[in-house]
Each structure stands twice: as structure tokens, then as C-alpha cells.
Structure 1
Amino acid sequence: MSTAPEWFKSSYSGSEGGNCLEVAYVRPESAAPSTTVHVRDSKNPDGPVFTVTPAAWTSFTAYAAGN
């Protein structure tokens, strides 16, 4: 059983609102590493959620950062 996601915005997000993504890592109740990464639109927290593996998220963020 997993705990509820704890959503957070990127440290690059400004405080004036706008277009932001929120990310949540879902960890099993044990101390095991995260098993899924969830992404959602901060303006629509009840809307759709994009879910990927931690490896896919790491690849995406490295690509987005230009590494």
C-alpha cells in the first residue's frame, strides 16, 4: 500500500501563479525508493495526472535541462 502523494512545485516556479507543474513521488509505506512519479497542472489539481517511472522522469528532466 502506498501513501498519498505529496505535491510540490518546482523551485523554478514563481510565486505569481501562472503556468506551473506540480510533481509528487509516491513511496511505498516502507523505506523503499519511490515507485512512481506523478505530474499535474497546478491550476487544475483535480484534473488528469501523468504518471511515469522514476527512470523515465529522470531522463525527461535531464533532457529538459539540456544535459
Structure 2
Amino acid sequence: MADEHHGWPTEDATERLLRGEHSGPAAAPADPPEAAALRSALATLTAPGPAEEAAAREEEAVAAFR
């Protein structure tokens, strides 16, 4: 039974899944209409804000004086 591979993903399919790709031969499903808005909101939330940029410049200035 241990050598029975029926129903188990192939090595190639496993690698594609680990890379975040689709494993089946079917085309990737279309994004729902709200997916673009969600991507935009997530990009806005993960972008560095003014405080983080100022802190980075401050760190550079402090490092220059060391």
C-alpha cells in the first residue's frame, strides 16, 4: 500500500503547489470583481508610510555620524 500512488499528487504538481502555482491542467480561475480593489487596499496598507520613511532617513543620518 505504501507504494500505491493513485490519488497522490505527482512530484511536478507538488513543486508547482509549493511555488503557489496551479497544479492542474485547467486554466487559473478568473479573479472575482472585487479582487482588484482588495489588491489595491492591501498594497496601500503594506506600503511604507511617511513615519517609516523618516525613520529610515534618520537611521542613515545617525550612521553617517558614527
Instruction: Place the TM-score, normalised by the shorter chain, in its bin.
Output: under 0.3
Larger radius of gyration: 2
